[in-house]
Amino acid sequence: MQTFRFAPSPNGYLHLGHAFSALLNFDLAQGCGGRLLLRIEDIDRARARPEYEQAIYDDLAWLGLAWETPVRRQSEHFDDYARALERLDALGLLYACDCTRGAIAQAVAHRADWPRDPDGAPLYPGTCRSKTHGSAPGVLTQGGVALRLDMAKALARVDAPLWWREHEKGDVVADPSAWGDIILARKDTPSSYHVAVAVDDALQGVTDIVRGRDLFHATSMHRLLQTLLGLPAPRYRHHALVLDDAGDKLSKSRGSRRLRDLRAEGATPGDIRRLLNLPAAL
């Protein structure tokens, strides 16, 4: 059975961009007789708030969505992510890094052509790659700052090229090297988004991942982690983003109009579907 998921973070109130992704997942699941899961991605405990989580349930119920219970929360599965990191460490693919963002920026400041990752950050120059820190996961409990993936070693362990099946595009070749030696865990956040989402999707049996186009490049990292950890490869569909009047992506940090505000102004779920050019509910 096809299994879809909507996975918001409880660090603010949902806006129209969230509504589009949630409704699209719901409609696709309904259309094929599949399952819709709701996952609360609260791995960032410093920003997660119970009132935001409750608002997610309220907004989605108002939109007419139904999902399976119990709801999975990432904060309840740190042990699963730790086991994934231990497996990567056993393969010799992790190393501890105590470089700050400022130190990295300074190290590459003289290189105007220094490559950047898909999020725009300069690729890590490998300063800590040759240091000896002992067992990598244990470093985080011994004052270490972060764990990085040795990208060259990781790519040497997989058959090239990696790829994924993209809706209406067919097979897309993954390029995880674009992320360089990416951070997979920090002392204050025991798993990166990339590790957590790869593990969660496998444990929940997600077959179809429908999410925004802003996560297209992240899929390359997820395919690498899935392959290294022996996890299944879902199908993907990266949908267009909902933009504001200035052409920018809606976001919580930019103060985009919230669903709760639209509801208070008298909007109906049907109005939201029309705003998003989605068909009426089945």
Q: Is the pLDDT of residue 282 over 80?
A: no
Taking only the tens place, the pLDDT of each residue in 197-226 is 999 999 999 999 999 999 999 999 999 999
Average pLDDT, the chain: 92
Report residue 180 as tokens. Answer: 């360089």
Residue 23: the pLDDT is: 98
Q: Are 151 and 224 in contact (CB under 8 A)?
A: no
Residue 202: the pLDDT is: 98
Angstrom distance (rounded) from CA 98 to CA 28: 44
Taking only the tens place, the pLDDT of each residue in 221-264 is 999 999 999 999 999 999 999 988 777 887 776 667 899 999 99
Q: Is the pLDDT of residue 142 over 70?
A: no
Q: Is the pLDDT of residue 133 over 60?
A: no
Residue 136: the pLDDT is: 55
Which CATH code of 3.40.50.620, 3.10.620.30, 3.40.50.10210, 3.10.250.10 fits the domain covering 78-200?
Answer: 3.40.50.620
- DSSP per position, the chain: --EEEE---SSS--BHHHHHHHHHHHHHHHHHT-EEEEEE----TTT--HHHHHHHHHHHHHHT---EEEEEEGGG-HHHHHHHHHHHHHTT-EEEE---HHHHHHHHTT-TT--B-TTSPBPP--TTTT---SSHHHHGGGT--EEEE-HHHHHHTSPSPPEEEETTTEEEE--GGGG-S-EEEESSSSS-HHHHHHHHHHHTT--EEEEEGGGTTHHHHHHHHHHHTT----EEEEEPPPB-TTSPBP-TTTTPPBHHHHHHTT--HHHHHHHTT-PPP-
Angstrom distance (rounded) from CA 177 to CA 221: 8
Taking only the tens place, the pLDDT of each residue in 19-66 is 999 999 999 999 999 999 999 999 998 999 999 999 999 999 999 999
* Domain spanning 1-76+243-282, CATH architecture: 3-Layer(aba) Sandwich (3.40)
Residue 132: the pLDDT is: 61
pTM of the predicted model as reported, rounded to 2 decimal places: 0.93
Q: Is the pLDDT of residue 125 over 60?
A: yes
Give start-end residues of each CATH 3.40.50.620 domain in the chain.
1-76+243-282, 78-200
Q: Are 61 and 266 in contact (CB under 8 A)?
A: no
Residue 180: the pLDDT is: 98
Angstrom distance (rounded) from CA 25 to CA 19: 10
